[in-house]
Amino acid sequence: MTATETAPVDSTALPDRAESVDERQPLAELFRDLRTSPSGLSERETARRRLVYGANELTRRGGRRWPRELLDQFTQPLAILLAVAAVLAWVGGTPALSIAVVAVILLNAGFAFVQEMQAERAVEALAAFLPATALVVRDGVRGEVKARDLVPGDVLIVAEGDRVSADARIIDGDVLLDLSSLTGESLPVSRSAQAAAEAGSLLEAHDLVFSGSTCTGGEATTVVTRTGMHTELGRIAALSQRVTTERSPLERQVRRATWIIAVVAVAMGAAFLPAGLAAGLGWTAAISFSIGLIVANVPEGLLPTITLALAAGVRELARHGAVVKRLSAVETLGSTTVICTDKTGTLTENRMRVTRLWLTGQEIDATAPATANDPRARARVLASAAAACTTAEAPSDSQPHGTGDPTELALLRLADELGVPTTPAERKKNRRAVFHFDARLKRMSTLDTGGDAVGDGDAATVHTKGALETVLPGCNRFLDADGAAQTLNAEARLALQQAQDRYAASGLRVLAVAQRALEPGQSIPDDREDAESGLTLIGLVAMADPPRKGVADAVARAHQAGMRIHVVTGDYGPTAAEIARQIGIGGKNGRIVTGAELDRLTDAELDAVLSGDGEIVFARTSPEAKLRICEALRARGEVVAMTGDGVNDAPALRHADIGVAMGRSGTDVAREAATMVLTDDDFATIVVAVDAGRRVFDNVRKFVLYIFAHAVPEVVPFLVFALSGGAVPLPLSVLQILAVDLGTETLPALALGREPAEPGLMDRPPRSRTAGVIDRALLFRAWALLGSVSAALVMGAFFFTLWRAGWHSGDPTGGGTPLHHAYLQATTITFAGIVACQIGTAFAARTDRASLFTIGLRSNPLLLWGIAFELVFTAAVIYAPPAQHVFGTAALSPAQLAVIAPFPVIVWGVDELVRWFRRSRTAPVAVPVPDRLVPSVST
């Protein structure tokens, strides 16, 4: 059915409010009310309407959220724990400590809040990388526009895979609609222009489509009736379009670890109380030291720092063309073990060019220039049949790249080059019906009048194109060398098969083209099977779609990083295998498994196929096959990144650990189901994302190591004091500990979260799915190595300072005693020594295995700034008289400073030696890398 023609657009008399339009009135009246026509609005008119109706987007309700989020920081369990400590300190008679603890709470909450807001903003900003688009007709020309620019009256085309961007009335065609986001009903419903008028709610109307629903099949032309907050979606939900920021496994792990440490800290604080009393401290002092221990050891800032590191990863990924929708995806990416990728557009350029044509007894190089004696008459029949069977639109002035499927664009270009161009208007005029391309059937058909094959007036012709093996069963004849239709015999079938294999062997994509002229007066078949039978095969079209630049390198890097790559494609096996071979996928144990073979495999057999170390080309797969492969791989414990672009790929995308959709060529449905969207559709970006994922995880480990390491030199002084029964004065005051926690630790920790990747990051095998961020090796390095060395150094400096002043065990050092100033200097040197050791720890933590020299001292400028701040802060605490008063410090002499000056180098040097020892003991990680070029892939 075609749309009702109406009067030309009158742009002056617009309905004031979109609600005043009755979308169920007869079409002619609707067009009149909306002041539009089937050829759409003019650009100028749409600009005017945008001013009247506003942008087509949902505005978020709920007002400001930040006050609540800030408040949330104070109700965190750790903050409450610290608040209890502050109250105890107050009650225990040490108001200065109480105030300091409150300062810790405030500063931490402020920091956490700022970090979380930043993380949230980073994720929300991603929406800008993925602007929703819509296909509209304006000024009679089809074109893509941003969905937010739709206005009532726009003629909107809705096709399979699209997310509908506005409420609209169908004027032509029919679609299957998934309305689950509006009605909760998960079964798709059919909507068409021919629907009879009926009562009931708007959502039940059979000729309306709604913003927020998705089209799972068919294609329809519609006229937009409502946009933005006036749509049903806007009305029902007033949804806030926030991206989910649920806790990632990494954050959960760290949260658990934080709790364990908090419990240990509280236990330690509680244990210090009797020990302190026994060592001769009064109640007040003992309580305040217990509190100091707790505050020192509770890693309050860890979680927000991790969230921020993940968010920074998300932001960086977006800049590299990979938009992830959950923070947690960043860390999952790092442990990816298998990538299942489709071929067309991801591994290849998706810029098809027809290079060969096959007709019985004749092969034509489609790239050669036409000659005077051109034997291409039959080729024109092939090209015009193929071009008739398309919905794409060739490039034009308004759409320089054309719109639609690149396969079809290549066919339109071929027809044009052969002198049988097909214009959209002509094609539309002749078109009687379309059976859209179906990823399962792998073919498409149209019923058209006019064209070469039709002899008589209005009689229609079926045009079919698709994979040879799915078109051939519908054919009973073929065109022979003279262009006459003959019965399709075994010999012709063999010739076709051989031609396809020959083309496929050089990586060409092959399409069979067939047609059937209906008898004059014969009714148009509405059943697909009916239409696609009794066909005459015209010939084959082979097109080149070369691998993308950079993909071979990315494949090599993925192999080096211990990942396997399976190709899951709808294309013909040998074609896909050749492309795979060209870019290094496959190797010695590679094989092709076709969709039909896959269907025959039992689950156990599939497991056996996947358990080998070879890479597999799954060819001619159905979308369901993707899900099955994904499930089988996950059941084997693999972490799977799976690409997909069609509506039917959505389940597999959801099921994979990382569902990857294509930003340019993919459907909205796939993009919504995916965890990561590639804005450049490029396979290489997946490998870049894995790299980034690994780096973020590594960096989290770096700052966890850094933060954990300083606990030892903070706790040991208290232990020495307690164990000596008071014979050794306290080497560190509580407020000095707080100065470390508050002033010197935070910035370098944040900077470690931004470390560039360590060399060899992508030479390691993937991290195991179960490997925790905090493992035994990390704890050993933090506490037994870096922490212990630091503790030994600072205690050494403390005793050395006291000893130089003439102190002996048990000598009094309190206020008014001759040794008091020396004691203040000694505690100051403990404090400054801890800061010095932290600097060494920060440099050591920068690498896990590699030497610091391989990454360079200055490759993380943020860390250098962080350390500079740390030094200035420490100098202020030591030398500024008011700070001396608060923190109980005394100025250090140059000679005393010289004692602690080598500490950073010693701490880092010991760790550097241990890393060197580890590197020399363990050979470089051997990753099985599949051989690249292997001539044949078994079928």
List CB contacts of 706: < 8 A, sequence separation 6 or more.
748, 749, 752, 838, 841, 842, 845
User: What is the smallest separation between the CB atom of 134 and ligand ATP, expressed in angstroms?
Assistant: 21
Applying CB under 6 A, the span of 255-263, 496-504, 570-578, 857-865 interacting with ligand ATP comes to 570-578
CA-CA distances (angstroms) from residue 297 to 82, 285, 406, 839? 11, 18, 60, 19
Dist. CA 656–CA 641, nearest whole Å: 6
115 in Cβ contact with 308 (< 8 Å): yes
The residue from 154, 167, 174, 342 that contacts ligand ATP (CB under 6 A) is: 342
User: What is the smallest separation between the CB atom of 440 and ligand ATP, expressed in angstroms?
Assistant: 9
445 binds ligand ATP (CB under 6 A): no
Closer residue to ligand ATP, CB minimum distance, 312 or 444: 444
Burial 597-616 (b: 16+ CB within 10 A, else e): bbeeeeeeebeebbeeebbb
User: What is the smallest separation between the CB atom of 179 and ligand ATP, expressed in angstroms?
Assistant: 26
Closer residue to ligand ATP, CB minimum distance, 226 or 443: 443
Applying CB under 6 A, the span of 222-230, 248-256, 460-468, 832-840 interacting with ligand ATP comes to 460-468
Applying CB under 6 A, the span of 206-214, 243-251, 464-472, 493-501 interacting with ligand ATP comes to 464-472
Q: Which residues are 191's β-sheet partners?
A: 175
Closer residue to ligand ATP, CB minimum distance, 512 or 735: 512
For 741, list phi and psi in degrees, rounded to 5.
-65, -40
Q: Residue 145: enclosing H or E segment and its boundaries?
A: strand 141-146
Applying CB under 6 A, the span of 3-11, 523-531, 565-573, 688-696 interacting with ligand ATP comes to 565-573
**CA proximity to 60, closest of 208, 240, 294, 312:** 240
870 binds ligand ATP (CB under 6 A): no
Closer residue to ligand ATP, CB minimum distance, 4 or 679: 679
User: What is the smallest separation between the CB atom of 861 and ligand ATP, expressed in angstroms?
Assistant: 43
Number of residues that bind ligand ATP (CB under 6 A): 21
343 binds ligand ATP (CB under 6 A): yes
User: What is the smallest separation between the CB atom of 427 and ligand ATP, expressed in angstroms?
Assistant: 14
Q: What is the CA angle 46-47-52, rounded to 5?
A: 90
User: What is the smallest separation between the CB atom of 357 and ligand ATP, expressed in angstroms?
Assistant: 15
User: What is the smallest separation between the CB atom of 380 and ligand ATP, expressed in angstroms?
Assistant: 20
466 binds ligand ATP (CB under 6 A): yes
Closer residue to ligand ATP, CB minimum distance, 454 or 568: 568
Residue nearest to ligand ATP (CB): 570
Applying CB under 6 A, the span of 321-329, 435-443, 686-694, 746-754 interacting with ligand ATP comes to 435-443
CA-CA distances (angstroms) from residue 73 to 68, 117, 454, 578, 738? 9, 12, 75, 56, 20
Q: Which residues are 553's β-sheet partners?
A: none
Closer residue to ligand ATP, CB minimum distance, 345 or 663: 345
Tokens of 327: 């923070």
Burial (Cβ within 10 Å: 0-12, 13-18, ≥19) of residue 202: middle
Q: Residue 485 — left, alpha, or beta (φ > 0 → left; ψ -120 to 50 → alpha)? A: beta
Per-position DSSP letters for 522-551, written without gaps between them: PPPP-SHHHHTSSEEEEEEEEEE-PBPTTH
444 binds ligand ATP (CB under 6 A): yes
Closer residue to ligand ATP, CB minimum distance, 405 or 848: 405
Tokens of 632: 């089988």
Binding residues for ligand ATP restricted to 806-865, rule: CB under 6 A: none
Closer residue to ligand ATP, CB minimum distance, 54 or 651: 651
User: What is the smallest separation between the CB atom of 348 and ligand ATP, expressed in angstroms?
Assistant: 8
Burial (Cβ within 10 Å: 0-12, 13-18, ≥19) of residue 352: buried
Q: Which residues are 536's β-sheet partners?
A: 477, 515
The residue from 381, 414, 467, 709 that contacts ligand ATP (CB under 6 A) is: 467
For 440, list phi and psi in degrees, rounded to 5.
-80, -50
List CB contacts of 299: < 8 A, sequence separation 6 or more.
258, 261, 262, 707, 708
The residue from 230, 378, 442, 701 that contacts ligand ATP (CB under 6 A) is: 442
User: What is the smallest separation between the CB atom of 330 and ligand ATP, expressed in angstroms?
Assistant: 26
Q: Which residues are 445's β-sheet partners?
A: 435, 464
Closer residue to ligand ATP, CB minimum distance, 226 or 465: 465
Closer residue to ligand ATP, CB minimum distance, 207 or 405: 405
Q: What is the CA angle 252-258-263, rounded to 5?
A: 130
Closer residue to ligand ATP, CB minimum distance, 152 or 466: 466
The residue from 344, 667, 699, 860 that contacts ligand ATP (CB under 6 A) is: 344
Q: Which residues are 343's β-sheet partners?
A: none
Binding residues for ligand ATP restricted to 498-517, rule: CB under 6 A: 509, 511
617 in Cβ contact with 597 (< 8 Å): no
User: What is the smallest separation between the CB atom of 416 and ligand ATP, expressed in angstroms?
Assistant: 17
Dist. CA 904–CA 840, nearest whole Å: 4
911 in Cβ contact with 844 (< 8 Å): yes
Applying CB under 6 A, the span of 10-18, 201-209, 414-422, 563-571 interacting with ligand ATP comes to 563-571
**Is 448 a catalytic site residue?**
no
For 925, list phi and psi in degrees, rounded to 5.
-65, 125
819 in Cβ contact with 812 (< 8 Å): yes
Q: Residue 444: enclosing H or E segment and its boundaries?
A: strand 443-449
3-state class of 591 per DSSP? strand
**CA proximity to 176, closest of 184, 167, 186:** 186
594 binds ligand ATP (CB under 6 A): no
Q: Residue 881: enclosing H or E segment and its boundaries?
A: helix 881-887
Binding residues for ligand ATP restricted to 389-408, rule: CB under 6 A: 405, 407-408
Catalytic, out of 149, 178, 342, 645: 342
User: What is the smallest separation between the CB atom of 162 and ligand ATP, expressed in angstroms?
Assistant: 17
Per-position DSSP letters for 290-308, written without gaps between them: HHHHHHHH--TTHHHHHHH
User: What is the smallest separation between the CB atom of 34 and ligand ATP, expressed in angstroms?
Assistant: 33
443 binds ligand ATP (CB under 6 A): yes
Closer residue to ligand ATP, CB minimum distance, 304 or 570: 570
User: What is the smallest separation between the CB atom of 219 and ligand ATP, expressed in angstroms?
Assistant: 13
For 363, list phi and psi in degrees, rounded to 5.
-125, 135
The residue from 55, 114, 439, 883 that contacts ligand ATP (CB under 6 A) is: 439
Applying CB under 6 A, the span of 193-201, 463-471, 803-811, 928-936 interacting with ligand ATP comes to 463-471
Closer residue to ligand ATP, CB minimum distance, 393 or 758: 393
Q: Residue 28: enclosing H or E segment and its boundaries?
A: helix 27-34
The residue from 111, 113, 358, 437 that contacts ligand ATP (CB under 6 A) is: 437
569 binds ligand ATP (CB under 6 A): yes
By DSSP bridging, strand 640-644 and strand 658-662 are parallel
Dist. CA 464–CA 460, nearest whole Å: 13
- Residues forming contacts to ligand ATP in the complex (CB under 6 A) are 342-345, 405, 407-408, 437, 439, 442-444, 465-467, 509, 511, 569-572
What residues are labeled active site? 342
